[in-house]
Amino acid sequence: MRQTAGPAEWTTFAIYGRIRTLLFLHHDPAPLNMLSALCILSTWLPYSPDAIVLDNPWQWAGMAIRLAIQLHLHEHETYSRLEHPGRARRMWWYLFINDTMQTACCGRPGMFPLETSVPLPVPSDFKDPDLGSRVFCQLAGHCKSLRKVLDLARVDNTTSEQVYLSLDELRVWREQLPLEMQLFDIETRQPYSRYVAELHIFYLVTVILTCFLGRRGNPSLFKYASMAASSCVSRLYEEILYHEDVKYLLPIHSWANLVAAIPRAFSDSDALNPDREEELRISKQVLETMSEKHTSAVLVLSKVNGLDNMRADTFPAQADNTWGALPVPRHMQLAQLFPFPSSFCPMLGLLRTAETGGNQPPDSLLTLPMDITDWPIDWSFFLFDGPMSF
């Protein structure tokens, strides 16, 4: 599903249709082969996310999860009886990643079992381990943290302390990544890898979602941290653009662009983000390129264009937060979430200045309206089928 355009008989849509037809014809009755086919189908979104159809990733993933449970793949003991346990374990954790992402981007209830005794995947589960397989293993672990954030969002009554604990868990996960999966070795940029860029994009998207949970009566610093994360996402997509790798991105990246666009929409002041227009251009270019293959990108592009035409004061404010609404706990600096040089993302300099200033805003922010720190939206804005219809 990551292939570029080729002969008509081997387009992504043609491959998708052939796999689906073979499934319907019961071409290969071997359960694990059928599970593999269902996993492949669940990577593809043939219709717009707002279309009400049965032919969509959520349905394929649901069938795959139910089949996997019937095969007892949620039990660790099962794998000792399989000829290729690594292959089965990869599929099991792929389904966990897929289900977590589907829950995040569509707001649907998760279908994955609450309890599983299966250990996280390891590179040896792959026939020929490479950087991509090692990134997959890390992404599975990261999705456990994302799952916790989604559980908090469902209650939507998160305390400041819970938000900081969630962010600190994300920080620890990122710090434990091996050097080959870090963006920087101190100040030196690591060699480009799309796998590593994608991993950090999903990390930063989770940071944005976690910061949003702290919007009610919590430090305004969460707002600025989300803006910094959004800017970093733009820079990573810019690298993917320069390397002409957008054609390999799966539909879930449409949602990642949507999440990153929301903090940007409320940083329309040059004092907050002088690179906002450049980041918007990057996001639109990525979505326009993706829209040649993915219908979800077309929908998200319309939402991003709509956000670009909006201003925060067009929404009814939900809170009257000011910079010093609550003291910032000293056990964690939010800037630690972004161990990147300011040259990578200028917004990081503003965040570090704001955080070291305690309850006093940076001089560049003193002239901004007091309600600039409001989040005049709710969680549904982060969903594919949210209320933004432009």
**String of DSSP letters for 180-223:** GG-SEETTEEPPP-HHHHHHHHHHHHHHHHHHHHTTTTS-THHH
Quote the pLDDT of residue 6: 55
Tokens of residue 140, six digits: 């599975």
What average pLDDT does the segment 281-290 reach? 96
- State the pLDDT at residue 373: 47
pLDDT reading at 384 higher than 70: yes
The share of the chain scoring above pLDDT 90, in percent, equals 49
Residue 386's pLDDT band (cuts 50, 70, 90)? low
pLDDT of 219 reads 60
The whole-number average pLDDT for the span 296-314 is 78
pLDDT of residue 90: 97
Count other C-beta atoms under 10 Å from residue 105's C-beta. Answer: 24
Examine the pLDDT at 362 and tell me if it is beyond 60. Answer: no
Query: What pLDDT score does 271 carry?
Result: 63
Considering only residues 27 and 366, tell me which one the structure prediction assigns the higher pLDDT. Answer: 27
Closest among 158, 142, 44, 152 to 93, alpha carbons compared: 142
Residues 230-256, mean pLDDT to the nearest whole number: 96
Half-sphere exposure of 44 (CA within 13 A, CB side): 20
Could you tell me which residue, 205 or 25, shows the higher pLDDT? 205
For the entire predicted model, the pTM comes to 0.88
Mean of the per-residue pLDDT values of the chain: 83
pLDDT (tens digit per residue) in 130-159:
999 999 999 999 999 999 999 998 887 788
Residues 6+ apart with CB under 8 A from 2: 247, 248, 249, 250
| 118 vs 378, more confident | 118
- The CA distance from 275 to 345, in Å, is 9
pLDDT attached to residue 223 = 82
Please report the pLDDT score of residue 372 as a whole number. 45
Average pLDDT over residues 7-32: 82
Residue 231 neighbours by CB distance under 10 Å? 27
Q: Is the pLDDT of residue 318 over 50?
A: no
- Written as six digits, the tokens of 282 are 């990057």
Q: How much is the average pLDDT of 77-96?
A: 96
**What share of residues in the chain are helix, strand, coil (percent, to 5)?**
60, 0, 40
Query: Is 230 strand, coil or helix?
Result: helix
pLDDT of residue 27: 81
Of the candidate ranges 10-19, 92-101, 185-194, the one whose mean pLDDT is the lowest: 10-19
CA torsion sign for 102, 105, 108, 113 is positive
Residue 313 vs residue 283, higher pLDDT: 283
Around Cβ 108, how many Cβ atoms within 10 Å? 14
What one-character DSSP code corresponds to residue 106? H
Residue 388: what pLDDT?
A: 44
Q: Quote the distance between the C-alpha of residue 367 and its chain's center.
A: 33
Mean pLDDT computed over 4-9: 58
Average pLDDT over residues 217-224: 72
**What tokens were used for 246?**
């957008």
Position 356 pLDDT exceeds 90: no
Residue 320: what pLDDT?
35
Residue ranges of domains in the chain:
1-129, 136-390
